[in-house]
Structure 1
Amino acid sequence: MLMPGWTETFLANPDKWNALSDEHKKIMQDAIAQFAQDINDWLAAGNESVAAKGDVFVFSELPEADSKQLTVAAQDVWQEEAARSARNAKLIELLVENAKAQGRL
């Protein structure tokens, strides 16, 4: 899911969360995951309906050569970010995989 993060955010007091049984934690985790998926589906459907109207937005794309050049130029920054943490490294790995799959690397 790649949507505004605030719609999939769940905050809990750690003491209260830790006081829940494993069964109750699982119920909450499943419900939150379903809520996040429902919100994602709802937003995606809304985006598709707006795009289908055809007169609301003008969609633009970078020329392929520019997109490739921008991705190649970003590699030093991406690697700096990857070195900051394992979490960042995983994200950068995904970005690189996607760029390769899209023919930008």
Structure 2
Amino acid sequence: MSQEIAVIGSPEFTTGFRLAGVRVCENVPDDRKDEQLDDAVEDVLADDDVGIIVMHDDDMPHLSRGTRKAVETSVEPTLVTLGGGAGSGGLRGQIKRAIGIDLMEDED
């Protein structure tokens, strides 16, 4: 089972995670996202030690179609997006996909 959390994004986004002890951080400057974001995501996807990838939701449109599909359908590592339009419904769906069950099923 993979143990590392990886954070991909702008230096401003990754700094807080570094301070919290996250060791795998890929900095992609805002003005270079269209050129460098795919490579950073693919590098992290290939790292067998990474179990969770954290990105800002606003960075998703900068990924190529193939890389976006690979990261969105990956079970391990699991992608978690923060900010933007991710909201609780998005996080709920990500958790359900990662573990295979809905922890917050509606009780009727």
TM-score for the superposition, normalised by structure 1: 0.30
State which structure, 1 or 2, has the greater radius of gyration over its C-alpha atoms: 1
Greater RCO structure (CA 8 Å; 6+ sep): 2
